[in-house]
Chain A
Amino acid sequence: MIIICVTSIQGYTQVSPPLKKVTVVGAARGQFFGDTYRPTDEDTVTAKKLNSGNVLADLGLKIQANANMEILGMVRIRNDYGGFWGSGVSFDVRQLYVRGLIGNAVRYQLGDINYRMTPYTLWNNEQDLFGELPKAFSTQMQAINYDHFYNSDHSWRQQGASANVGFLFAKAIKEIQLNAVSTRIKTSDFSNQSDRVFVGLNAQVIQSESLSLGFNYADIFDIVGTSRNQTSMRNPIVTSSAHWMMDWGSSKMDVKGEAGLSARYTEGVDIAVKNGRFNDWKALWASKSTGLSLEMRYHFVNADFRSPGAQTRRLNAGGQLSAFSRIGNDQVLRPVSILDMMRETSLYNMQLQTSLGQYLPQYDNITPYGDATPNRQGYFIKGGYETSKGLWKSVVIYYNGRETKGEGTIEPRSYSRVKAETELLLNEQTIGWKSQLHLSAAYRNDRTERSGPAYLPQVNLKNEMIALGAEYLINKKWEILLGMQQVNFKGLEMKNIRDFNGEIVNFSEMELDGSEIMSSLGLRYFFSAQSYLSLQRFQWNGRNGLDPDHEHSIAQWMLLYQMNF
């Protein structure tokens, strides 16, 4: 006997039963920045101080049209400080969707959709160094993530339509979920660029509580006929996944994996097809009684694997900075720093990109495109410990990998990463303390190496990241925030230069020798769980051993008011 039912899919928020016919939802934010630029050498051209700020309100109306249909429309009103009375005011539609049920069986959504599939088909990977960011820096980063719809579930904000349906079975199989999505990622210019769409299909077979299998298909293609261009880019990806978990006693075993194929080609053009493949398997053992856990993971992603939905980067490394974009008397372009990554909204991307985006090897040279980073194979070992009430939590990760295919030589690069994170939480739950103190520390050491004849440039890049954080919450109202993050990088990397078709056509030597330290001290007052006012001081110092003339530091005061409703 089969029963058709409505299911929730990954990244799809369940429609809540309507409480009111019309609900007002949204958020408001006011922020003010006071920046000071301090060059090491004389700089009489660049303005040393920069003040900016804005206030914005996202006002949304959620309308429950009937029992099976919900409509959300949200507008953003934004005003830069100094821009009242008309100038500097922007008025945008931030969200618009209709969603509901058809025949109590098929759930659909039209308009803006937050959607994710798997880490190899459609997945919004976190920006560089985001995972290790102390909370003191997350106030600004969270604003960027909110503005760009970067959700913790790794979904991409798209515009299109989605539908999902589920079937319940009485025997052998518990449930089958079918999900489909189609979005437009590029509009036709009626000349060279045709409409480009993303299509995703997913079937999830849940055999039991402990075993489920998944089948995924994702494709990006141009619709011929929507412009004068008769060629069509195609990038289908087919994957299958399995997830098995079992509890015995106080231990838990969790094994999951995904494997698949991709093809990248252009119909109507005589360019070789890029055939990609990957597989990724991990096994986790965790003991509830001791708090110990051990995870082992193996992954292989070949050099030709292309999956725009999973390889699009949030951070556009080649983006233009808005604060102190040029420095020095010769007004050179200021390179992107960890301070900019924390606060520069213009560096972030909201649309799927069909080519591999630029990245910054000094921050992450191993997984710049997340799990789906092409040309990587290796294994991870992750050991963890957590006390029962969450007083202390620690994780150590070791990664050893290498390329699947050399670049410019058959000798592959080898990669290694050692990462350790620890957290201490002192509060009412853990030690019976009324206030709350959270301490965190993280360390990451990455190495990229490639041996070869002495006449070739030797790839030997070393990256190091240290992060320390402390947050002291008094009476659930006042919070003192302290944070420090340091990044060191030194060595040589041969950066590849790709043509329009993604083929490597040259290499450029990228020599790095520098460090960045960013620290923050701040005070936050919570009006309620949904609103707070934060005053923070940030200090960023950069050292550039290869270009000491343009070394500088930037200090920033930030006042932020945030409210969600």
Chain B
Amino acid sequence: MKKVVLAVMVAVGLLHGCKVEDSFDGPDLNDLYGPFSIESDLNISQDSVDFSLGEQPLFSAAFSKKVNWKLKIIGLTSGAVKIEQVFDSEVNYLWNGSTTQFPMFREETCAVELTVDQQPDTLRDTIVIIAPKVNQGLLLSDFEGGLNASWNTFVQSGANMNFGLQSNANVPQGVRSYTMEGAVSWDWLIGLIDIPASAYGAPHFDLNANASQVYFNTLLYKHPDYDNGIVLLQFREDDNGDGSYTDGEEDMFSVELKGGSDGWRLVSLKYQDLATLVNGAAASPIGNGLHEPDKLFQVSILFLANPSSGFSASGLDYMVFTEGSPLAP
């Protein structure tokens, strides 16, 4: 009996191992040391693309080993740039028309460049955008059709005031954006825009009730010469549902935007993360303290600067609420 038990245990033990696994641990040495060659040239699945119809061109190529490749798509009219960087032996990239560096793509021809780290060659091609990407969400304004007549604006009578639509090559989306510039020596406020829900035909904005699913997105411009501007966003809720906002009784969530890198940038704010501010400092909620996007009554955009800091400048474009995720322009 003892011998049988022992023989079984030894046999199980010997049959337990003996093999070398088909896979391996760590990065592939071939990727680190193997010779590089292009196995398959850059190919784009279509010459032209209509992103508004949901089309997505496939960019493909193949290499002899995993490499850091970089695909760069440059809008020849807008100057928009889309960059995709991956460590892989294959390029299989589906482009949905999004951009990495503003502005956004337009109807234009794009140059395509595929480069590989530490390799001298660049693979090139072109693709034509018939219609740019359409972003999902509740668009407040992209300023292309002018200022919404139901918005309320106020601009101080300061020096060198310039509030309004502007059209130039620097616009991040379309051809127009909203400029806010000026110097007010007696007040922090330089100008403001009130965007009531009624401007969109309802007492409240048509948004999801779940605050963690709602994002407010805007493209914001920081002038390279002026660092003193503050953009204050205010979100007023109609907590009691009476179709109006009562100061001091209902919630107003705010966020201050200042600093940042020069030029245009995307600001995306999760509604759930908005706080109650009093003079820029966090404070107790004014109303019921609940983040209720479906009760949002009005969005206000205030452009502020320290009165003693002189001239200040900023800009806005493409304000949109999205659900589920931030805007991916």
Contact of A410 with B2 in the complex, beta carbons under 8 Å: no
Any A CB within 8 A of the CB of B201? no
Neighbour of A405 across the interface among B5, B12, B20, B28, CB < 8 A: B20
Chain A contacts for B20, CB-based, 8 A: 402-406, 410, 412
Q: A405-B21, A408-B24 are in contact. Are A456 and B33 (CB under 8 A)?
A: yes
Contact at A255–B24, with CB atoms within 8 Å? no
Q: How far is the CA of A503 from the CA of B27 in the complex (A)?
A: 10
Bitwise, B95-107 to A at CB < 8 A (1) or not (0) is: 0000000000000
Most buried by A among B2, B12, B24: B24
* Bound form: Cα–Cα A241–B32 in Å: 43
- Shortest C-beta distance, A454 to chain B (Å), equals 10
Q: Mark A26-58, 1 if CB is under 8 A from B, else 0.
A: 000000000000000000000000000000000
- Are A406 and B25 in touch, CB under 8 angstroms? yes
User: What is the total number of residues of chain A having a CB less than 8 Å from a CB of chain B?
Assistant: 40
Asked if A88 is at the interface (CB within 8 A of a chain B CB), the reply is no
Q: Identify the closest chain B residue to A304 (Cβ).
A: B25
* C-alpha spacing A259/B10, complex, angstroms: 10
A410 near B22 (CB under 8 angstroms)? Answer: yes
Which residues in window 378-420 of A have CB below 8 A to B?
A: 402-410, 412
Per the bound structure, the CA–CA distance linking A530 and B2 in Å amounts to 46
Of chain A, the residue at the smallest CB distance from B10 is A281
A123 contacts the other chain (Cβ, under 8 Å)?
no
Asked if A507 CB lies within 8 Å of chain B CBs, one says yes
Docked Cα-Cα span, A330 to B7, in Å, equals 62
**Which of A320-376 touch B at CB < 8 Å?**
375
Measured in the bound complex, the distance between the Cα atoms of B64 and A455 in whole Å is 14
| A280: B residues at CB distance < 8 A | 13
B53 at interface by CB-CB < 8 Å = no
Cα(A494)–Cα(B19), bound, Å: 22
Query: How far in angstroms is the closest Cβ of chain A from B48?
Result: 41
Q: B residues within 8 A CB of A408?
A: 24-29, 32
A211 at the interface (CB under 8 A from B): yes
| Residue contact A406 to B24, C-beta cutoff 8 Å | yes
Query: In the complex, are the beta carbons of A409 and B13 less than 8 A apart?
Result: no
Stretch at the interface among A192-200, A295-303, A556-564: A295-303
Which of chain A's residues have a CB closer than 8 A to the CB of B281?
none
A504 contacts the other chain (CB 8 A): yes
Fill in one digit per residue for B1-40: 1 if any A CB lies within 8 Å of its CB, else 0. Answer: 0100110011011101111111111111110111100000
- Cβ of A177 under 8 Å from chain B: no
Q: Is the CB of B17 within 8 A of A455?
A: no
Q: Enumerate chain A residues within 8 angstroms of B35, measured Cβ to Cβ.
A: 455
Please, how many angstroms separate the alpha-carbon atoms of A207 and B130 in the complex? 84
Q: Which residues of B contact A402 (CB under 8 A)?
A: 20
Number of B interface residues at 8 Å Cβ cutoff, please give it.
27
Chain A residues, Cβ within 8 Å of B12:
259, 279
Q: Determine how close the nearest CB of chain A comes to the CB of B240; give it in whole angstroms.
A: 39
Residues of B within 8 A of A244 (CB): 2, 6
Asked whether, in the complex, the Cβ of B28 is within 8 Å of the Cβ of A257, the reply is no
Choose from A279, A302, A303, A403 the contact partner of B13 (Cβ within 8 Å): A279
Partner pick for A506 among B6, B14, B26, CB 8 A cutoff:
B26
A407 touches B22 (CB 8 A): no
A40 to chain B, nearest CB (A): 34
Bound-complex Cα distance A504 to B27 (A) = 7
| Given A211-B2, A408-B27, A507-B32, residue A300 in contact with residue B17 (CB < 8 A) | yes
Contacts of A135 in B (CB 8 A): none
- Which residues of chain A come closer than 8 Å to B2, judged between CB atoms? 207, 210-211, 244
B32: chain A residues at CB < 8 Å are 408, 507
Closest B residue by C-beta to A210: B2
- Chain A positions 506 through 549: 1 when the CB is less than 8 Å from some CB of chain B, otherwise 0: 11000000000000000000000000000000000000000000
CB distance from A472 to the nearest CB of B (A): 46
Given contacts A242-B9, A409-B30, A456-B30, contact A404 B21 (CB under 8 A): yes
Residue A318 CB within 8 A of the other chain: no
CB of A19 closer than 8 Å to a CB of B: no
Distance from A211 Cβ to chain B, minimum over Cβ atoms (Å): 5
B19's nearest neighbour on chain A, judged by CB, is A404
User: By the criterion CB–CB under 8 Å, are A409 and B28 in contact?
Assistant: yes
A430 to B28, CA, bound (A): 59
Looking at the assembled complex, report how far the CB atom of A515 sits from the nearest CB atom of chain B, in whole angstroms.
29
Are B16 and A456 touching (Cβ within 8 A)? no
Known contacts A211-B2, A255-B6, A257-B10: does B25 contact A407 (CB below 8 Å)?
Answer: yes
Chain A nearest CB from B36 CB (Å) reads 11
Inside 8 A of A255's CB, which chain B residues have their CB? 6, 10
Asked whether A407 lies within 8 Å of B34 as measured between CB atoms, the reply is: no
Tell me which residues across on chain B come within 8 A of A403, comparing CB atoms.
20
Contact B26 A279 (CB under 8 A): no
Residues of A within 8 A of B10 (CB): 255, 257, 281
Q: Does A496 contact B (CB under 8 A)?
A: yes
* Least Cβ–Cβ distance between A256 and chain B, in angstroms: 10
* Residue of A with least CB distance to B13: A279
How close is B27's CB to chain A, nearest CB, in angstroms?
Answer: 6
Give the interface centre of B6, B10, B22, B26 by most chain A CB atoms within 10 Å: B26
**Given A244-B2, A244-B6, A455-B34: A507 and B29 interface contact (C-beta under 8 Å):** yes
A302 to chain B, nearest CB (A): 7
Q: Does A452 have its Cβ within 8 Å of any Cβ on chain B?
A: yes
| A67 at interface by CB-CB < 8 Å | no
Residue from the list A207, A303, A456 in contact with B25, Cβ < 8 A: A303
Docked-complex contact A409 and B29, CB < 8 angstroms? yes
Taking a contact as CB atoms under 8 Å apart, the answer to whether A504 and B17 are in contact is no
Name B15's closest neighbour in chain A (CB-CB).
A279
Cα distance A210–B5 when bound, in Å? 13
Which of A281, A300, A407 is close to B24, meaning CB atoms less than 8 Å apart?
A: A407
| Cβ of A105 to closest chain B Cβ, rounded Å | 30
Q: Is B26 within 8 A of A504, CB to CB?
A: yes
**Given A300-B18, A377-B18, A406-B20, CB of A242 within 8 Å of CB of B27:** no
Indicate if the CB atoms of A242 and B25 lie closer than 8 Å: no
5 contacts between A and B (CB under 8 A): A259-B9, A403-B20, A405-B23, A408-B24, A506-B27
Nearest first, the 10 closest Cβ-Cβ pairs linking A and B are A300-B17, A504-B26, A408-B29, A406-B24, A279-B13, A405-B21, A279-B16, A504-B25, A408-B26, A281-B13
Given contacts A281-B14, A455-B33, 5 further A-B contacts (CB under 8 A): A300-B18, A408-B25, A408-B27, A408-B29, A410-B23
- Please report A residues at the B interface, Cβ cutoff 8 Å: 207, 210-211, 242, 244, 255, 257, 259, 277, 279-281, 298, 300, 302-303, 375, 377, 402-410, 412, 452-453, 455-457, 494, 496, 503-507
